[in-house]
Structure 1
Amino acid sequence: MLEIPPMEFTEHFNAPVERVWKLFVNENGWDPWFTDGMKMELKNGGKIHFRWKRITNGEEVTDNGLTIALIPHRLWEFWWYEYEDGFRSRVEIKFQENENEETWVTIVDHTLVKTIDELQIRYGCAYGWGQMLLLAKVYLEKKIILI
């Protein structure tokens, strides 16, 4: 097992925390701006089903997850990236509103990497989280779907 610190990504949203929270944490997940048929149970221990098609060149890519913690307007923590022994990644999405009713979203990804050869998994996750935050920001602030 490689000892690698978690990856962290932060984005500013020009919107109150309630709107930003609903964009990320809702029964339909990140549809229509990032996923294609994502579903989530909004409770601790709730199941998550991820599905992508538009950002994967038409190939259907699916995954499952499980909510660890759900603190409204503050934190959504979940497992995802299923593999033979369980889940490979634990993710925390943190929401912080400032005095101007703008919101900072921070994603902390603790992805398990067993060998140097598996570092590509982290690179893929890093690319995906950056893409996801950009698409979320454009969708929320400009009402534009880029995919």
Structure 2
Amino acid sequence: MPVRRNKRFHAEVATSSLSDIMFFLLLFFLIISTLANPNVIKMTLPKSKTNEKTNKQLITISVTEEKRFYVDKEEVGFEDLETKLLSKMDVDKNSTVVIRIPFNMQVQDLVDVLQIGVKNKLKFVIATSPK
């Protein structure tokens, strides 16, 4: 009587290395997403129902509640804001200026900054957070 051996092939997928790879990918994307945020100055922005994302070249003006002005993370006085902004615009002719101002600031503070753009014919956008 011949002995029959089980010669079937059982397909297996080794998943032990996949969990390690997924962990490293998750860690990588978490670190990169925190570094990709260009706005270091934290503030509460005004709320808006429609929020549009832009992929254009941007120059950021941030105004804090203490009325400190920052052009791309570099602090400048209000008197020097126009010259600093124009020097940045000379490098990038097609740049859009994004104004980040806290929601509880006075309208006059926003208008003072917007007058610089109107005077020099610059493209200004006000940053908001989704509602």
TM-score (norm 1): 0.24
Rg comparison, structure with higher value? 2
TM-score (norm 2): 0.26
Q: Which has the higher strand share?
A: 1
Q: Which has the higher helix share?
A: 2
